[in-house]
Amino acid sequence: MTQETRMLDSIERYIRGEMLPDERVYFEQLRKSNAEVDQLVVEQTLFFQQMNRFGEWKKFKSALEDVHTELAETGKINSNKLRGGAKVLYLWNRYKRVAAIAASIAGVTAIGLSMLVNSITPHKESPKVQELVHEVSVLKNAAKVLDTKIDNVDKKKADNTIIPKYNGTGFLIDTKGFLITNAHVVKNSTNIFVQNNKGDQFKAFVVKLDVPRDLAILKIDDEHFKGIASLPYGLRKAESDVAEPIFTLGYPRDEIVYSEGYLSAKTGYNGDTLSCQIGIAANPGNSGGPVFDRNGEVIGVLSTKEMQAEGVVFAIQSKYILQALDELKKDSLYHNIKVPLTSGLHGMDKVQQAKRVQDYVFMVKGD
């Protein structure tokens, strides 16, 4: 597709509401920053409205024709009845309606079958994926949020009180305090805090925001954070297999929550190769959480779920975490990030594994 075709396609999917939430946010930013794109959107919206009116007008006109023929034939209006060929055509059309009803009964099974196929194959162009960020009372006292922000600026030092608008989950990937979460958890926040399962809260900042991969790398920057000796888990490099058992830890509520499931498919929503599909119970707040395999290796970052189906959840594959980290390491400031690639949790039972990893899974709060 050419540049222009792609642009038109984006604009039309935007107008028809067929964009995924992330894409939509990105596109809206583009609109704001680029007057030409904005103009194109306005023009195309007008064109859509015009076509809508035109379509309805056409439909109404043909309805009038139908009604006229029907009423004339049944003698409800004093119009000439049809004769000859026109009459046959009318009767055929009438009969067709009856035939259509009969056919539709047969159609029910066919539709039933195709619906089944639809529900298990990725269905394109309908935004049904919901990001699992927990929107904490967005409408709650905006003024208060502003106050806090002003306070923070005044003191030139962030105290540990923010009113979080979003919270998600994140997990350490380096002993010096680097964490991984989803880009959509933190991208709209100015102040970010992470909180461990004991309730200790640390200030953090975004080191790398990777919106296309929906990943963010955070760094804890707080005098109270002492670093850790070692991480019990590692990132898995090898591809995972369908039906592998998996588990996750996250903060859909204030307390850390464990859930387990399995890998359902190697690709994500719409056959997206960035992510994979997992069958698990996940809720808003689980976004950014680690997905572990049975050996305690991280295979992905839990990111979105399908809105209309329970237990259909998508996770960003771990190889993209490694890619994002490799890019970051090119920066001399961060070249010494060390990501463990082996796990020390082999052969343990799940209770032990969960116990060992839960200290390194944080709630990520942003305002």
Partner 1 sequence: MGYYLLNPVLNKGSLKPEIDEKELLNGLARNDRKAVETIYKDNYNMVQSLIINNNGSAEEAKDIFQEAMIVLYEKVRSGNFELSCQIKTYVYSVSRRLWLKRLQQINRFQIEVDGAGDVVAVEEELEAHERLNTEFSLMEKGLSSLGEPCKSLLEAYYLQKRSMNEIAAAFGYTNSDNAKTQKYKCLMRLKKFFFDQYKTGEP
Closer by beta carbon to partner 1, 79 or else 161: 79
Closer by beta carbon to partner 1, 15 or else 145: 15
As a 3-state breakdown, the chain gives helix, strand, coil percent values, each rounded to 5, of: 40, 25, 35
Please tell me the distance from the alpha carbon of residue 277 to that of residue 265, in angstroms, as a whole number: 5
Stretch that binds partner 1, among 28-36, 63-71, 137-145, 319-327 (CB under 8 A): 63-71
User: What character string, x for contact with partner 1 (CB under 8 A) and - otherwise, covers 185-224?
Assistant: ----------------------------------------
Q: Is the dihedral of CA 222, 225, 226, 228 positive or negative?
A: negative
Residue 32 lies near partner 1 (rule: CB under 8 A): no
With CB under 8 A as the contact rule, the residue among 42, 46, 64, 153 that binds partner 1 is 64
Stretch that binds partner 1, among 22-30, 61-69, 102-110, 130-138 (CB under 8 A): 61-69
Burial of 297 (0-12, 13-18, 19+ CB in 10 A): buried
With CB under 8 A as the contact rule, the residue among 55, 107, 227, 311 that binds partner 1 is 55
In the complex, least distance from residue 9 CB atom to partner 1, rounded to whole angstroms: 5
Residue 140 lies near partner 1 (rule: CB under 8 A): no
What DSSP string describes 252-275?
A: SSSS-EEEEEEEEESS-GGG-SSE
What six digits make up the tokens of 312?
A: 């259909």
Helix (H, G, I), strand (E, B) or coil at 226: coil
Stretch that binds partner 1, among 44-52, 131-139, 206-214, 350-358 (CB under 8 A): 44-52
Residue 51 lies near partner 1 (rule: CB under 8 A): yes
Q: Are 228 and 260 in contact (CB under 8 A)?
A: no
Check residue 333 and report its DSSP letter: G
Please tell me the distance from the alpha carbon of residue 190 to that of residue 26, in angstroms, as a whole number: 18
Closer by beta carbon to partner 1, 9 or else 326: 9
Phi then psi for 123, rounded to 5 degrees? Answer: -100, 120
Residue 109 lies near partner 1 (rule: CB under 8 A): no
Give the residue from 261, 322, 259, 252 showing the smallest Cα distance to 288.
252
Helix (H, G, I), strand (E, B) or coil at 306: strand
Residues 73-92 binding partner 1 (CB under 8 A) are: 76-80
Closer by beta carbon to partner 1, 61 or else 355: 61
Q: Which positions touch partner 1 (CB under 8 A)?
A: 1-2, 4-5, 8-9, 16, 18, 48, 50-51, 53-61, 63-65, 67-68, 70-71, 76-80, 124-126
